[in-house]
Amino acid sequence: MKIALIGGSGFVGTRLIDLLNEDPLKYDCKNIDLLPSHFFNDITVIGDVRNQEEMDRELKGMDVVVLLAAQHRDDVTPISLYYDTNVGGMEVTLRAMEKNGVKRIVFFSSVAVYGLNKKDPDENHPADPFNDYGKSKWQAEQVLKKWYDTHKDWNIDIIRPTVIFGERNRGNVYNLLKQISSGKFLMVGKGENHKSMAYVGNIAAFVKFLIDNVSENYNVFNYIDKPDNNMNQLVRHVSKVLDKHIPATHFPYWLGMLGGYGFDILAKLTGKKLAISSVRVKKFCATTQFNADKAHSSGFKAPYSLDEGLARTLEFEFVHPRTDEITFKTE
């Protein structure tokens, strides 16, 4: 099976290629990305998902496309980049697939399409994205749905993952784990808000499961590793894994937001992208729980529990000595 990953040089793509390469007689992978791959440059070609000619050429002979390429950080400028890549890239990819007779795509969307503080939304919950990343992902899904309406013989699988974490990742979850493990953690709010998370090893396994088992129709899956932890439970788990006492100082929400706005002003004045912002404080304090019954009742069995994924990440990042400095920056 010839599989083209578009945007596979990043965090999720690297882990997925690693998993698929365990069975080279079954899967023949190709990575198309703007950047080289740290680990799989031998199967990587430099290409831009926004470039029709490049995508037309590189998708020739493929059986399945896994579309990972996206603008995903919450500080992308100009804002039009979200739509050029996340929506325009989808349109380019579909045209290239049609030209080459490729009829299967796995698309990485996001639970960001639901917006903030929704009550355990499942895949049928109305979309209500609050930022341009979520809006652009939802628009890309709408492009896919409209395409499927006239291409019923295609197989379109959409994954809406929650925040993904794991070894080598440098995103919000890593920053949170690093702060907690340092013992200098400031908890904004009461710590009772739940945080849905997904371990990268499980996400990669779920994509492989879809490629092997869900090869017809138009399907949408939330992906979250269950059960969810709240912030207080997460601190306790980090404390247990690292075998150290970790005090958590609680600050009221209004004070945390005030500090976030202060950092917004500072970022605007200096022109620098800072680790703290009002958006990130808001996301930190939000309840982000999502329903993943559909994925977990599909026959897929996650190879790791959420706590196992957290423990593997903590041990890799903060316990065992590193042999290299290769990391992936995400949200």
DSSP state of 52: H
Mean pLDDT confidence for 159-185: 91
Is 133 catalytic? The answer is yes
Domain count, the chain: 1
- Comparing CA positions, the residue from 121, 5, 7 lying closest to residue 62 is 5
Predicted local distance difference test score (pLDDT) of residue 322: 80
- pLDDT tens sequence across 12-38: 999 999 999 999 999 999 999 999 999
Question: What percent helix, strand, coil does the chain show, rounded to 5?
Answer: 45, 20, 40
Which one from 27, 114, 133, 223 is the annotated catalytic residue? 133
> Is 119 part of any domain?
yes
> Is 263 part of any domain?
no
Residue 94: count of CB within 10 angstroms of its CB: 23
Percent of the chain residues topping a pLDDT of 70: 99
Q: For the domain that residue 156 is a member of, what is the CATH number?
A: 3.40.50.720
Cα–Cα dist 29/16, whole Å: 10
- pLDDT tens sequence across 89-127: 999 999 999 999 999 999 999 999 999 878 899 999 999
> Is 283 part of any domain?
no
Mean pLDDT confidence for 228-234: 92
Two structure tokens written together for 74: 């919450």
- pLDDT tens sequence across 268-302: 999 988 878 898 788 778 778 999 999 999 999 99
DSSP assignment of 76-134 equals: -SSTHHHHHHHTHHHHHHHHHHHHHT--EEEEE--GGGG-SS-SS--TTSPP---SHHH
Cα–Cα dist 10/216, whole Å: 27
Predicted local distance difference test score (pLDDT) of residue 112: 94
> Is 8 part of any domain?
yes
pLDDT at 314 over 90: yes
> Is 45 part of any domain?
yes
> Is 183 part of any domain?
no
Report the half-sphere exposure of 168 (CA within 13 A, side-chain side).
Answer: 16
Give the residue numbers spanning the domain of 144: 2-162+197-225+291-304
